[in-house]
Chains A and B, each alone.
Chain A
Amino acid sequence: MAEGAITRPAGLTRRRAVRRARLPRVSRWQAAPVTAALLVFSGYPLVYLVGLALTESTLARPLQSWVGSDNFRNALDNEIFTGSLWRSTLFAVLAAAGQLVIGTGLALALAARARRLGLLGGLLLLPLVTPPVMVGVAWKLLLAPVGGAVNGTLALVGLPAVNPLGDERGAFWTLVVIDTWQWTPFVVLLVYAALLGVPEELREAAVLDGAGHWRLLVSVVLPYLRPALLAVFLLRLVGGFKVFDIVYVVTAGGPGAATNTSTYEIQRTALESFQVGTAAAETLVFSVMVGAVATIVALVRRRAVRAER
């Protein structure tokens, strides 16, 4: 048998045998810290969460009595929570898509300008390094209907006042804009780094074949970047699902329930209504939904990677 060849035990498919051969092997004691960490930080919370979801649990008295699926029924009967699932998905998709488009555009512009980001890169990072709570406070002050900077400026130029946080659509879109403002620089950085990895010879070959800037972008650069772009999209999609700080500070889920995302609603159920059992059920439902959406994007990305190979 040649050196390095894979021995395949009986009953094992070739694919499994290859995967098994590639697995890094560590001793039990070396793996113990990781195993313990997984049990403490993932296993225990998950088991406890499931326990809460299946029992009558309040903040003061968790795990009182077995209630089966009642908490799940309460969660799914609650229009505010089911509405929040849709709102969270819409928010995550719109924000991630917006950030990807704008971020990619900016990254392309920066890459066309120079191979180093320099001072501009530092400035770009400013929204990213600002604490989300401060971002929320700043935007809230800017958009205050009375005494806000935006309306003050509009009044100076004789335009009527606006109050985007006062109506449902305006408030929702304002949050999308704020999230986009904060996280687009992150996308810029990642896409910029990916752009640096586009082989120069590929560009040169395309140019020799007569491709212009647009054709180069559409037929060479973007297809090459597709897996990276989908990975960035996935990252920001999950980030969008997790949004909490700016909702808490800017709109507190309002007006009405217009910006009540699932994370905010779960917090309200657990820490304002103290219905910890229902909040645990909501968390599990939300996790399944996020997992499903993220899996779809991950599958699309995997297909793109395979296609590239």
Chain B
Amino acid sequence: MSQPLFRPGTSRRTVLRGALGLGALAAAGPLLAACGGEAGEALDPTGRPDLDGVTLKVLVNQPNAGAFEILRKSFKAETGADLQITPVAYDKLLAKSVLDVQSGAGQFDVIMYWYVGLGTLAAGGVLEDLTAYIKANPDIDTGDLLPSIYDPYTLYEGKRWGLPFDGDTHILYYNTELFERYTLEAPRTWEDSNAAAEKITKDSRGEHYGVIIEGQQVPIILGCTFANRLVGFGGRFLDEAGKPVLASDEAVAALQSVLDAAPHALPTPLQTGFDQALPAFLSGKAAQLEFWTDHSVKAQDPEHSQVVDKWDVVTLPVGGSNTKPATSLDAGFALGVSTLSKRKEAAAAFVKFAASKKQNEAQIADPTSGSDPIRTSTLSAPVFKKSFGRAADVVAEGLSGSPLVWPNGPKAPELLQVLVDELALAFQGKQQARQTLEKVHSAWEKELG
């Protein structure tokens, strides 16, 4: 009979063998982790790649998949190169791109990112530094890129990590039919908006709701709801030095304003995400909705909307002592080159192509693209006025001004999670507005040092 592998009892030799095995595993862990992230060759800023026959793999935000189909056709026609598009839900985009590089898979050449993830991607070695490439390619015409979004979307630690692709902002949609029925004016302040919400919800006795408060506990939903009021009341997330300013009177007033609106909102705010909010507005059930600019296309589409020609938009209202309207950079996407790409020059060429004036206008012209202006010239282009219709002036005003920029450093995902967790507790009535924001402020200070 052969020797048993395992014997009852423990000998010194067994302990030594076990310790050696564990030690080897422990040593292998970092090695395995490190070998996953081996970068490809550095990007040649002046490289002129032959794109004919090349296929670039592109990770994109799912709602923008249509935009990339448009780009794929025009890129192929101009260069002979094709795109292999992988759409991913907006809230999984950052994790997917980080894991792609961290695991060493390197499945993507071009990465679309929400600008809040810029610091995470740049500091994590996921994005290629494009500073030299942008300098070496003056035809990118960076002077035409909207100043309000160019730096927030691409600049981290003095270097450029991408080019803007979709200049997202929120505007306030309202149902003109309901506003007329209840003799209300278009809301110019958050106080107007709250008063309208209360009147419509009370007077319609449950048939309609005066406002939709999107309060699902994820940054891109509840974070936007708070940011829209924060900018309206003249508050900011961070000061010029990058320190949190969330315990300010403006921030507290902004949160109080949204908490005041909650009882009159579509039930119930903490449950309300895009899949509840959009049908409620498009069916005429709810009267006010803060949403992205491209929603105007859907609101005018009879296939999706029962409020065709019964809606209008205003810039995000002001509140408190602030009288200067501004918008918030809610969402907003840029394109960068993966450090693991084996075709970095080709990938950079595509990023440049996608951010060009011609392509931005082509995107705007197609209502299915879901894209917004990224260039100053686009805001004055006839195609923008035609596509955005009544929303055009409001969008242009927001993007030309000084919008609220969200945190975009390496700690941003954590900061925003803390923010929405505490906001949700305030919505539940477990803490007051000031207490909520003082807790967030303190947590942010601790994280940012």
Q: Do A and B bind each other?
A: yes
Judge whether B276 is part of the interface by a CB distance below 8 angstroms: yes
Task: Report how far A38 CA is from B425 CA in the complex, Å.
Answer: 43
- Say whether A252 contacts B2, CB under 8 Å: no
List B contacts of A63 (CB < 8 A): 29-30, 33
Judge whether B46 is part of the interface by a CB distance below 8 angstroms: no
Tell me the chain A residues, 79-99 only, with Cβ under 8 Å from chain B. 80
Mask, B416-449, CB within 8 Å of A = 1, is 0100010011011010000000000000000000
Task: Report how far A62 CA is from B124 CA in the complex, Å.
Answer: 10
Q: Which residue of A47, A60, A257, A274 is within 8 Å of B22 (Cβ)? A: A47
Q: Which residue of B6, B8, B99, B417 is within 8 Å of A59 (Cβ)? A: B99
Judge whether A126 is part of the interface by a CB distance below 8 angstroms: no
Given contacts A25-B1, A145-B268, contact A16 B8 (CB under 8 A): yes
Judge whether B267 is part of the interface by a CB distance below 8 angstroms: yes
- Say whether A268 contacts B417, CB under 8 Å: yes
Task: Report how far A58 CA is from B411 CA in the complex, Å.
Answer: 10
Given contacts A51-B26, A272-B413, A275-B414, contact A60 B3 (CB under 8 A): no
Closest chain B residue, CB of each to CB of A251 = B271
Q: What does DSSP make chain A's interface, helix, strand, loop or mixed?
A: loop
Judge whether B247 is part of the interface by a CB distance below 8 angstroms: no
List B contacts of A272 (CB < 8 A): 91, 95, 218, 413, 417
> Which of A161-169, A206-214, A291-299 lies on the face that meets chain B?
A161-169
- Say whether B95 contacts A80, CB under 8 Å: no
- Nearest CB of chain A from residue B286's CB, rounded to whole Å: 9
- Say whether B285 contacts A146, CB under 8 Å: yes
Judge whether A193 is part of the interface by a CB distance below 8 angstroms: no
- Nearest CB of chain B from residue A160's CB, rounded to whole Å: 10
- Say whether B25 contacts A255, CB under 8 Å: no
Task: Report how far A229 CA is from B7 CA in the complex, Å.
Answer: 34
- Say whether A253 contacts B217, CB under 8 Å: yes
Given contacts A16-B8, A255-B427, contact A59 B271 (CB under 8 A): no
List B contacts of A166 (CB < 8 A): 267-268, 270-271
- Say whether B29 contacts A27, CB under 8 Å: no
Task: Report how far A58 CA is from B7 CA in the complex, Å.
Answer: 41
Task: Report how far A165 CA is from B7 CA in the complex, Å.
Answer: 55
Judge whether B279 is part of the interface by a CB distance below 8 angstroms: yes
- Nearest CB of chain B from residue A175's CB, rounded to whole Å: 14
List A contacts of B22 (CB < 8 A): 43, 47
Judge whether B193 is part of the interface by a CB distance below 8 angstroms: no
Task: Report how far A256 CA is from B102 CA in the complex, Å.
Answer: 32
- Say whether B421 contacts A257, CB under 8 Å: yes
Task: Report how far A166 CA is from B414 CA in the complex, Å.
Answer: 26
Mask, B20-57, CB within 8 Å of A = 1, is 01100110111001000000000000000000000000
Given contacts A20-B8, A61-B124, A273-B417, contact A39 B21 (CB under 8 A): yes
Task: Report how far A253 CA is from B417 CA in the complex, Å.
Answer: 13
- Say whether B267 contacts A163, CB under 8 Å: yes
List A contacts of B218 (CB < 8 A): 252, 272
Judge whether A26 is part of the interface by a CB distance below 8 angstroms: yes
- Nearest CB of chain B from residue A19's CB, rounded to whole Å: 6
Closest chain A residue, CB of each to CB of B28 = A44
Given contacts A145-B267, A273-B414, contact A60 B124 (CB under 8 A): yes
Q: What does DSSP make chain B's interface, helix, strand, loop or mixed?
A: helix
- Say whether A60 contacts B5, CB under 8 Å: no
Task: Report how far A255 CA is from B217 CA in the complex, Å.
Answer: 8
- Say whether A144 contacts B276, CB under 8 Å: yes
Judge whether A235 is part of the interface by a CB distance below 8 angstroms: no
List A contacts of B95 (CB < 8 A): 59, 271-272, 274
Judge whether B136 is part of the interface by a CB distance below 8 angstroms: no
Tell me the chain A residues, 248-262 only, with Cβ under 8 Å from chain B. 252-258
List B contacts of A146 (CB < 8 A): 266-267, 276, 280, 285
Judge whether B216 is part of the interface by a CB distance below 8 angstroms: yes
Q: How many residues of B contact A (CB 8 A)?
A: 52
Judge whether B105 is part of the interface by a CB distance below 8 angstroms: no
Task: Report how far A273 CA is from B120 CA in the complex, Å.
Answer: 10
- Nearest CB of chain B from residue A180's CB, rounded to whole Å: 22
Given contacts A27-B2, A166-B267, A252-B216, contact A60 B98 (CB under 8 A): yes
Judge whether A307 is part of the interface by a CB distance below 8 angstroms: no
Task: Report how far A256 CA is from B216 CA in the complex, Å.
Answer: 9
Judge whether A159 is part of the interface by a CB distance below 8 angstroms: no
- Say whether A257 contacts B424, CB under 8 Å: yes
Given contacts A80-B421, A268-B417, contact A44 B266 (CB under 8 A): no
Judge whether B163 is part of the interface by a CB distance below 8 angstroms: no
Closest chain B residue, CB of each to CB of A46 = B25
Task: Report how far A98 CA is from B244 CA in the complex, Å.
Answer: 47
- Say whether A256 contacts B4, CB under 8 Å: no
Task: Report how far A275 CA is from B270 CA in the complex, Å.
Answer: 25
Judge whether B126 is part of the interface by a CB distance below 8 angstroms: yes
Closest chain B residue, CB of each to CB of A272 = B417
Task: Report how far A70 CA is from B348 CA in the complex, Å.
Answer: 40
Given contacts A44-B25, A47-B22, A47-B25, contact A60 B33 (CB under 8 A): no
List B contacts of A145 (CB < 8 A): 267-268, 271
Mask, A42-81, CB within 8 Å of B = 1, is 0110011001000000111111000000000000000010
Q: Could you write out 20 A-B pairs with CB less than 8 Å apart? A: A26-B4, A27-B2, A28-B5, A31-B5, A43-B25, A44-B25, A47-B22, A47-B26, A51-B26, A59-B99, A80-B421, A163-B268, A163-B271, A166-B271, A254-B270, A256-B424, A272-B218, A274-B120, A274-B414, A275-B414
15 extra A-B contacts, CB within 8 A, seeds A59-B98, A63-B33, A163-B271: A20-B8, A28-B3, A44-B25, A44-B29, A47-B29, A48-B25, A51-B26, A59-B124, A166-B271, A252-B217, A252-B218, A254-B271, A256-B270, A268-B417, A273-B413
The 3 A-B pairs with the shortest beta carbon distances in the complex, nearest first, are: A60-B124, A166-B268, A27-B2
Residues of B within 8 A of A (CB): 1-9, 21-22, 25-26, 28-30, 33, 91, 94-95, 98-99, 101-102, 120-121, 123-126, 216-218, 266-268, 270-271, 276, 279-280, 285, 410, 413-414, 417, 421, 424-425, 427-428, 430
Residues of A within 8 A of B (CB): 12, 16, 19-20, 23, 25-28, 31, 35, 39, 43-44, 47-48, 51, 58-63, 80, 144-147, 163, 165-166, 168, 252-258, 268, 271-275
